[in-house]
Amino acid sequence: MSDSQHRIMIVAGEASGDIYGADLVRETLRLKPAISFFGIGGERMRETGVQTLVDSAEMAVVGLVEVIKHFSVIKSAFYKLSDILRSDPPDLLVLIDYPGFNLRLAKVAKKHGIKVLYYISPQIWAWRQGRVKKIARLVDHMAVILPFEAPFYEQAGVPVSFVGHPMLDMVKAGISRDEAAADFGLDPMRKIIGLFPGSRRSEIERLLPVIVASALLLKQEFPELQFVLPLASTLRKDDILPLFNAAGLDITIIEGRIHDLIRACDAVISVSGTVTLEIALVGTPMVIIYKLSPLTYQLAKRLVKVPNIGLCNIVAGETAVRELIQDQANPAEIAGEIAAILNDPTYQAEIVRKLKEVRSKLGTGGASARVAALVLALCQQFEGASSNSVGVRR
């Protein structure tokens, strides 16, 4: 089989997966241009030429209650991709994070003899560790991005490669804080606070009102503060502006250049997620916040086995930055932590020191290139199997 015949289904159900997926596709096509990708993704993946049958913005939900609300959309997407796996099977299925959906899709692929590469592991080391047995049955190769994940899979007999974290290639040395501030039309002489409410609409609904209220408290204590917010590709300004307008709070909303935006900030209020690692790699102090529905939170308390939820804290192996979860994620606590960072240079310096250690624990750059090599290797395995048998993919 020639390279031009290789078709790869790729599934990224969230904004971060869209970013990593786009980088992976770009690197794979650099090595072998005549490969077609299709599946679930967002704007970034479409820019690389991926045919997105479902937009990842429709799939990005967290928590039991939120999944139930969006069940019809998720179910429709699952059946659409499952039908293709059965009727027009690709040469390889590449899954990026999003385990609730992706592990079910892997089961369909397994049934039809399609090889599966799973990039960015479900956080089974944090909760529901028994899923590793399912992964061992359904996945041909795991490409993990955190160093402590590889031994976990090795012990379970799952083929695994530690590829490094793709964020290392994305967060590089850039312009200075003052240059970044000026580029965004902000006053470098005044303090700047980043407000990072997330990329999911459910996060915006639950957390943006708390963030706005926190910013109002900070504005009372520090009248000269400026606030800036990065707009995720899954959102529109109309999702954000009404709350700020109603509160009478000025906000600068920026699309793109998120790492320069982080550099411009003196501190950040951020929801838990991949973005906390980006902020850590830039070295900007932050407070991590998160709220779930009461039912989802009670379930999570029983199931989660790690002391921190912030990815930067998990990688650090300690609480490098403070986390305010559920009832603690209130305006007074959030504003108080940011005020402590602004008022106490020693505290601020200690946070920055701990964040610098995070980068050293993530390995070296080149993650997307390593995963692209795995993609091509698995495609070659399929090609070899196809040339030696009829109707057999494994």
| pLDDT over 90 percentage in the chain | 70
Output the average pLDDT for the chain: 89
| Core vs surface per residue 187-218: b (16+ CB within 10 A) or e | eeeeebbbbbbbbbbbbbebbbebbbbbbbbb
pLDDT at 360: 85
pLDDT confidence bin for 72, thresholds 50/70/90: confident
Measured over the CA atoms of residue 256, residue 121, residue 371 and residue 145, the dihedral's sign is positive
pLDDT confidence bin for 313, thresholds 50/70/90: very high
For residue 105, give the 3-state DSSP assignment.
helix
pLDDT at 301: 62
Look up residue 111 and give its two tokens: 């049934």
pLDDT at 394: 33
pLDDT at 61: 59
pLDDT at 306: 64
Mean pLDDT to the nearest integer, 33-54: 96
> What is the amino acid identity at position 167?
M
Position 347 pLDDT exceeds 50: yes
Fold identical between 3-166+366-388 and 173-360? yes
Higher pLDDT, 258 or 65: 258
Tokens 């899709």, residue located: 105
Residues 249-294 pLDDT 10s: 999 999 989 999 999 999 999 999 889 999 999 999 999 999 876 6
- C-alpha span between 127 and 300 (Å, rounded): 8
Contact in structure between 240 and 164 (CB atoms under 8 Å): no
Q: Which class for 143: exposed (0-12), middle (13-18), buried (19 or more C-beta within 10 A)?
A: buried
Tokens 């980006």, residue located: 278
Residue 95 belongs to what H/E stretch?
strand 92-96
pLDDT at 235: 85
Residues 146-170 pLDDT 10s: 988 999 899 999 999 999 999 999 8
Mean pLDDT to the nearest integer, 377-387: 71
Q: Which class for 41: exposed (0-12), middle (13-18), buried (19 or more C-beta within 10 A)?
A: buried
pLDDT at 69: 60
Mean pLDDT to the nearest integer, 290-301: 69
Considering the domain 3-166+366-388 in this protein, what is its CATH number? 3.40.50.2000
Furthest-apart CA atoms within the chain: distance in Å: 73
- C-alpha span between 279 and 286 (Å, rounded): 8
Mean pLDDT to the nearest integer, 29-57: 95
pLDDT confidence bin for 307, thresholds 50/70/90: confident
Tokens 């690709």, residue located: 90
Q: Which class for 4: exposed (0-12), middle (13-18), buried (19 or more C-beta within 10 A)?
A: exposed
Contact in structure between 394 and 115 (CB atoms under 8 Å): yes
SS (H, E, C) 172-236: CCCCCHHHHHHHCCCCCCCCEEEEECCCCHHHHHHHHHHHHHHHHHHHHHCCCCEEEEECCCCCC
Kindly report which listed range (36-45, 119-128, 134-143) carries the lowest average pLDDT score.
119-128
- C-alpha span between 203 and 29 (Å, rounded): 34
pLDDT at 297: 62
Q: How far apart are the first and last CA of the chain?
A: 16
DSSP state for residue 29 in the 8-state scheme: H
173-360 CATH pick, 3.40.50.2000, 3.40.50.970, 3.40.640.10, 1.20.1530.20:
3.40.50.2000
Alpha-carbon distances of 361 from 133, 135, 143, 163, rounded to whole Å: 27, 25, 17, 13
**Domain spans of the chain, in order of start:** 3-166+366-388, 173-360
Per-position DSSP letters for 232-287, written without gaps between them: PTT--GGGTHHHHHHHT---EEE-S-HHHHHHH-SEEEEESSHHHHHHHHHT--EE
Mean pLDDT to the nearest integer, 192-214: 93
Kindly report which listed range (28-32, 87-91, 115-119, 302-306) carries the lowest average pLDDT score.
302-306
- C-alpha span between 154 and 349 (Å, rounded): 38
List the one residue out of 26, 17, 47, 50 whose CA is nearest residue 36: 50
> What is the amino acid identity at position 316?
A
Residues 214-239 pLDDT 10s: 999 999 999 999 999 999 887 889 99
| pLDDT over 70 percentage in the chain | 89
- C-alpha span between 192 and 219 (Å, rounded): 11
Position 296 pLDDT exceeds 50: yes
Mean pLDDT to the nearest integer, 14-21: 91
CA 7 from chain centre, in angstroms, equals: 25
